[in-house]
Structure 1
Amino acid sequence: MKLRNILIVVKDIEKSKKFYHDLFGLDMLLDNDGNMILTEGLVLQDEAIWKKFLGKDVKYQNNATELYFEERNIEEFAEKLERLYPDIKYVNRLMTHSWGQKVIRFYDLDGNLIEVGTPMSDKI
């Protein structure tokens, strides 16, 4: 068995596609009219389709999951985030953990939690 994708629900798929491209360089691989596969295995699912499929309301900003990205030049990333999305909601701005990893945590346009940190693979 192999994990293929991570799916997140979004209110405006075009705005979310732009957000993930602007900040992380993710590009669209496939657009199935409300279900969009991006590079790196991220799938954007239109809220209306997801609600209909589940028969339940979507609970945004639930803090139960996190998308994790690594970036060597995290200071430059933090500046780009502030410049492109100045109204973004932060969990924490750029900080350094006791083990030396620098991280920034924030919510995407729909309240999906994102963490960007300096690579941990250097420490493993």
Structure 2
Amino acid sequence: MIKFISSVLFVKDIAVSRMFYEEILDQQIEIDYGVNIGYVGGFSIWKKDVAHQNIFRDNKAEIELIGNRKQQIELYFEVEYIDKICKKLKDHQIEFVHDMFEQPWGQRVFRVYDPDKYIIELGEPMNVVIKRYYETGMTFEEVAERSSTPISIVRSVINNK
């Protein structure tokens, strides 16, 4: 089953956006990666220039194209069978933003365009990443460091296998 996880808003100034969501709208942080903040309830903010570089890498034309759009949004989904869904989307000739790659924190992701050119990201759940690292012989501490995940979450995922 493909599970919808969150909407991601690309923001110009992460500090200003954090103040708005946290201090004005009383949103609670679920996880903080600095340039990418996830809030309880299922939405995230991501510093726009970092997001664009991460998504489009060195493709300046795509960065400029997306940067000039009035509406910018990415819908994020997680799926354990990421290879299967990637193949399905290719078989249906869906336009890819980029093929699957591994994020610095170990999660495999790919992005496609929806029919209106909104970005749809599909990634494997972090519990899958954590288990994969742990099964290679890494300690809890090594998994936490490699996956940028708090050790309490790593312990919880591994102990609830």
- TM range, smaller chain: 0.3 to 0.5
The normalised TM-score by structure 1 is: 0.45
The normalised TM-score by structure 2 is: 0.35
Bigger RCO of structures 1 and 2 (CA < 8 A, at least 6 apart):
1
Q: Quick check: which has more Rg, 1 or 2?
A: 2
Higher helix share: 2
